Structure 1
Amino acid sequence: MLTVSNYHYIRENFATPYPSIFGVTPCDFRKQLLMLKNEGDFIEPKYLVENLKDVMESADHHFLITFDDGLKEQFENALPILDELHIPALFFINSINHIEKKVSLVHQIHLVRSVVSTASLYENLVHHTNRKLNQEEIQQAHQFYRFDDHQSAALKYFLNVLLDFTTQEKFINGIFTKHFNEKEILENLYMNTDEMQHLIKRGFLGSHTHTHLPLGIYEEQTILYELETTKKYLENLGGVAIDCVAYPYGTKEAATEEVGRLAKQLGYKIGFTTNPGLNEGSNNPLLLNRFDCNDLIGGKNYK
């Protein structure tokens, strides 16, 4: 069987005027890895790609460590700990940060929310769109963002799921550019070319699609573009096939059967959702389950 644990931000300090950027410290990351190490064996990405069926059908417990968004702090703070403990991992990047030199909208939102209150942003968004969430949408928001308080979940669901990308971008970008220098954020937030090539050589890099969209709510042409653009970019960068993809947001709405089918069509061999659960013989290789690190032993939500 296979358990996949996923991480985002890895930094010493998460203090901001308004809490919006969450993750684990390097110390807590190391502690959790040691706990997981007592539960089973960590697996190399290349071995997993080549032997996925055998791994999932095995009675032995295997673990895979993954990171979304291609953040520099993952390379600087997490990779040394992984190497110290001789643990392999997969890092998934968005190509928009490198091809178009843009900060991903999802990170613009995180940064904006770190300096502007949730209440103020939600009020401005209601004014900007001339609408509010209905009761059903509020319930869906709580399910979609189960780790967030109700107000934060509503804001994030409104922005990330209900609004089209153009409307999201127009609303957030205007606020983002008032508070941040995009060039500086790009240099400091994301891995650079040398760091990505280092990971490619080790078989540690995969696609997180181009723009970080919830693919399942888009039409086929957009899904194909998002999946193919990053795959080609990384393959040109490293000269090797990119076999693995992690779908942004990764929920059942974002990572549908159709998304998995199109990923396979483009040559991906393994795809990861964010649906929590073990992966055993019956799982679709293009729609594998993946736990948030907080849900596993050593995580803040583990029971």
Structure 2
Amino acid sequence: MLIVANYHYIREDFSAPYPSIFGLTPSKFKAQLEQLSRFGNFISQQDLLYHPKRAFEKNFFLITFDDGLKEQYELAKPMLEEMGIPYIFFINTSNFSDKKVSLVHKIHLLRSQVAPKELLQELEVNSLSEIEEKAAVKHYNYDSKENALLKYLLNFKLSLEQQKKFVDPLFAEVFEEEKVAEELYFTEEMLQELYKKGVLGSHSHRHLPLGLISSAEVEKEMRNTQDFFLERFGQKAVSLSYPYGSRDSCEGIQEIVQKAGFQLGFTMERAGNISLKEDSLLIARYDCNDLPGEKNNLFGNEDPFKLSALRQWHI
């Protein structure tokens, strides 16, 4: 079986006026890696490419990171390499081609400085339905209900233009975008090194919920992100991490994704993968907090390979 673990922020201090950025400290990250190593081996992106035609003969973990954050390179990468653990970093290519902060990170940072109640009042949109509220709380299960509703409204209910119209002016009042972009994301030298190591993948171009936008927009996203890889590195990316990772942001676009040249696609379906033979573009993945050693540990101290659900979204 293959169990994929996904990480975002790795930093020493997560304190903020309104905590909205959650992740692991380096010490907790290392402790979790040590705990996972008790249950299985670790596999690389290159090794994974050989598995779509057969089942996994052993139990493997794959370590992945979304968003191309500098702190991942500076704090997590040295630890992984010291422990001999392979990994994949997924980047939003617009951060580097446009030198801008992703809308999703603007929202994270803005929410860390402004109370969620104030932001909900500023939005002035109709309330979510009961079904949507339940979906929001389930998807953002590490957030308070207020924060979950706010994130769902921003990420799934508003169009890209509506989000930008709401977020950009507020963000500009609090932050200097160019400075934030320089501090937050990989440098050009980091990108080149990571690609040469074979550990770089795409998180799309602009971090949009791909399954919820038009086919033409998905094609544009895939074209733009692969053009970046071709221009910077001379080859297309082979792996894609779907932004947001929810079922509705992943499904129904695999033909476009495959046509763009991607061989591996990673969702946030909380499950294990017995084989990639039927579909290597809807690979299930756990948030790091779901796995042994973290706050929403679904498996206690037991072997996750014995208890994990099996992926279903590809069926």
TM-score (norm 2): 0.92
What is aligned with 1:159? 154
1:47 aligns with 2:47: yes
Q: Contact (CA 8 Å) 2:52, 2:279: kept in 1 or not?
A: no
Once the two structures are superposed, what CA deviation does each residue of 1:78-101 show, in whole Å capped at 9, x if it has no partner?
A: 000001101110000001111112
Once the two structures are superposed, what CA deviation does each residue of 1:137-174 show, in whole Å capped at 9, x if it has no partner?
A: 21221122122221111000001100000000110111
1:248 paired residue among 243, 249, 254: 243
User: Greater CA deviation, 63-72 or 45-54?
Assistant: 45-54
Give the 3-state SS of the residue equivalent to 2:35 in structure 1. Answer: helix
1:277 aligns with 2:271: yes
Q: Contact (CA 8 Å) 1:3, 1:278: kept in 2 or not?
A: yes
Distance 1:283 1:85 in 2: 32
1:1-303 aligned at under 5 Å gives the runs: 1-54=1-54, 57-126=55-124, 129=125, 131-256=126-251, 258-281=252-275, 284-302=279-297, 303=300
Q: Contact (CA 8 Å) 2:264, 2:281: kept in 1 or not?
A: yes
Could you list the runs of 4 or more consecutive aligned residues of structure 1 that deviate by over 3 angstroms after TM superposition? Answer: none
Give the 3-state SS of the residue equivalent to 2:64 in structure 1. Answer: strand
Give the 3-state SS of the residue equivalent to 2:127 in structure 1. Answer: coil
TM-score (norm 1): 0.95
Once the two structures are superposed, what CA deviation does each residue of 1:267-289 show, in whole Å capped at 9, x if it has no partner?
A: 10000001110011265200000
Once the two structures are superposed, what CA deviation does each residue of 1:246-302 show, in whole Å capped at 9, x if it has no partner?
A: 00001111000x222211111100000011100112652000000000101112111
Q: How many residues align?
A: 297
Q: Between the two proteins, what is the percent identity of the paired residues?
A: 42
User: Greater CA deviation, 236-245 or 86-95?
Assistant: 236-245
Distance 2:235 2:175 in 1: 36
Q: Contact (CA 8 Å) 1:5, 1:292: kept in 2 or not?
A: yes
Distance 2:44 2:157 in 1: 37
Distance 2:11 2:256 in 1: 35
Q: Contact (CA 8 Å) 2:103, 2:164: kept in 1 or not?
A: yes
Give the 3-state SS of the residue equivalent to 1:51 in structure 2. Answer: coil
Give the 3-state SS of the residue equivalent to 1:50 in structure 2. Answer: coil
